[in-house]
Structure 1
Amino acid sequence: MLLLDKNQVESLLQPADAMEAVSEAFALHSEGEGRVFPLVREPLATGGVFGIKSGDVQSQGLLGFKAAGFWPANREVGGEPHQATIMLIDPATGRPVCMIDGNAVTTMRTGAAGGLGLQWLARQDSERLCLFGTGVQARIQLTFALALLPSLKQVQYVTVTGQHDAAFERAFAERCEISHAPDRNAAVAGSDVVITATPGGGALFDLQAVQPGTHLNCVGADTRGKRELPDGLLARARLFVDDRAQARQIGETQWAPDTPCTEIGDVLGGKVQVERHDTDITVFDMTGLALQDLTVARLLQRRAATAQAGTSIHWPW
């Protein structure tokens, strides 16, 4: 069995690779070739949340799962609250063949999914972006946004403390005009793109702040009870999701489950044509598919074999 840790994943995985693998995952899902199994997402007595996302692509011999969750108390000891581990399994025997650090994979594949949402759904002349959050996921979302929307010039960010984040500003200062937004509603109203990458503790801004023509990438709602958008927004928007059933279970769509929506894989595959009008409000509700983790994990497994990277251990029957 091959083991790949965080450092090995980060050395083997480039943004363009993640975009290609995530695009494949969405296409497989759209065509029905990739299966997504029922989601496990449960609170723990320790204060954490534990989940399992799993699936397969039978025609490709791809089978596996990601065990992941959120442990907020980790911050108190200097640790990362998000924890994830990915396992690839031989579908013929059930034997584990590759175990991979899931944190680095989750970060990159979620950033890539957000990038695809911007490529296909946002106005390509977008110049101003409002970002909620300055953590790991906020950083990767902004990185992909700046790479894929060259017209972006101005970024305003909102923090939970209401204070500016000097380190965050330094990380992006050479790529855009970046500043802290003291008024979140004004920042949303003045932006073409809004990205929400928070723990999903509640609505982040008022409904009336969202102007015609805005695109929103929503990352934080990934568990029952989480949300980042205000009541009534989905009814005003054209809603896109990664998986319809999962979005209604744990995404923003849980708050308005009857809202008509389109799966992003159908857009990428050409089943649905998106003719965006300048006044359309679009929302991409991102809950994360097991297939994204599996296609990226398979890429890493192959790259590691070529580069002779990782640790191979004997795994007795």
Structure 2
Amino acid sequence: MRNDVKLILLDKHQVEALSKPDDVVEAVREAFALHSAGEGRVFPVVREALVTGGVFGIKSGDVQSQGLLGFKAAGFWPANRGVGGEPHQATIMLIDPKTGRPVCVIDGNAITTMRTGAAGALGLTLFARADSTRLCVFGTGVQARVQVTFALRVLKQLSSIRYVTVDAQRDASFEAHFTGHCEVSHATDHNAAVAESDVVITATPGFGPLFNAAAVRPGTHLNCVGADTKGKRELPEGLLMRSRVFVDDRTQAREIGETQWAPGTVSIEIGDVITGRVQTNRQPDDITLFDMTGIALQDLTVARLLHQRACETSTATSLAWPW
């Protein structure tokens, strides 16, 4: 038995220091392509409510040909806000598929933020109109900010951002974060904000429909982030049937994403577009929609990238982990 084995640990600050946006986008692109090719497996999601008021989940998967195996244990604990903590909590573990031994434990919050932002960037690149100039975002939290940040990277003509808050109040911090990149304004009329936008991003807790279906004009693209659990939704009744719907995983989207509300919705997996198995042929008046539930392979390909980079730069913390 080996007694010199090390377990690599990467905390939030190390993950953020090692994460380069373009590299994360490519890792997420690879995850979707592996999924499309059948090389990357996504195991059934665990998602359960707790008596503490939290929700606990596990997303796991592997790429057998690459020796990649692992999981993310994550969830949402709203009471954390009362003690000054982050309600979203996640931890990722990479495992040696030959032995079952843990290889690396990583702060999952930072990876989840980046890989979801990167998925959003791919959705915009592949499905939004290239001439999109006006963006509307619902939410001003961590995920809303990263989605807008990636949108500014890929939509070069973007000139205005309208944001909608749950409490209908301005968010000075959000405005300051993006002022200087383009015009930023607070919107109180949800439907008008949607109707006047080329791209709509929904990044809320998913407590219910955010706007009316009739507000979405032909040619609009929507990136939808908030529906990731049974019972959650952000989109209104009837919008899916008017849209060309793209998802990260068809089965998962039906179970915990927006298509749980319309299981018969025809959808295309983004990986099939990336690999060329499906051509989008977007028309100017198409309403396109990317429902992002987040798949384990995104977490694993990004975690592997960061693990490799940490080892190369000797920036990781390591612990003796004999067996």
| TM-score between the two structures when normalised by the length of structure 2 | 0.98
- How much has 1:316 moved relative to structure 2? 2.5
Letter in 2 for 1:39: V
Q: Which residue of 2 aligns with 1:158?
A: 164
Gaps of 5+ in 1: none
Which residue in 1 is equivalent to 2:3? none
Residue 77, structure 1, aligned to residue 83, structure 2 = yes
The runs of 4+ residues in structure 1 deviating greater than 3 Å are: none
Matching of residue 9 in structure 1 with residue 5 in structure 2:
no
1:56 aligns with 2:58: no
Residue of structure 1 in register with 2:152 after alignment: 146
The amino acid that maps onto 1:269 is: T
Instruction: Please give the alpha-carbon distance, in whole angstroms, between the structure 1 residues aligned to 2:69 and 2:217.
Output: 43
1:99 aligns with 2:105: yes
1:263 paired to 2:269: yes
**AA in 1 matched with 2:119:** A
The 5-angstrom pairing of residues 1-317 of structure 1 reads: 1-317=7-323
> Which whole-Å CA distance do the structure 2 matches of 1:132 and 1:77 have between them?
25
Deviations 1:60-103 (A, max 9, x none): 00000000001111111111110000000000000001000000
Q: Compute the displacement of 1:311 (Å).
A: 1.0
Alpha-carbon distance between aligned partners in 2 of 1:110 and 1:138, rounded to the nearest angstrom: 10
Q: Which runs of 5+ in 2 are unaligned?
A: 1-6
**Alpha-carbon distance in 2 for matches of 1:203, 1:24:** 32
Q: Deviations over 1:33-86 (max 9, x none)?
A: 000001100111011100000000000000000000011111111111100000
Letter in 2 for 1:275: N
- Cα deviation for residue 310 of structure 1 reads 1.4
TM-superposed deviation, 1:314: 1.0
Amino acid at match of 1:13: S
Q: What do residues 162-205 of structure 1 show as CA deviations (whole Å, max 9, x unaligned)? A: 01101110100010100000111000000000000000000000
Cα shift readout 1:125-158 (whole Å, capped 9, x = no counterpart): 0010100000000000000001100111011000
C-alpha distance in structure 1 between counterparts of 2:44 and 2:177, whole Å: 38
* Structure 1 residues 197-229: Cα deviation after superposition (integer angstroms, max 9, x where no partner): 000000000111111110000000000000000
**Following TM superposition, by how much is the alpha carbon of 1:124 offset from its aligned partner in structure 2, in angstroms?**
0.4
C-alpha distance in 2 between matches for 1:14 and 1:197? 22
Alpha-carbon shift at residue 315 of structure 1 (Å): 1.2
* 3-state SS in 2 of match to 1:50: strand
SS of structure 1 residue aligned to 2:290: strand
CA distance in 1, matches of 2:264, 2:321: 47
Distance 2:173 2:304 in 1: 34
Percentage of identical aligned residues: 73
CA RMSD of aligned residues (A): 0.5
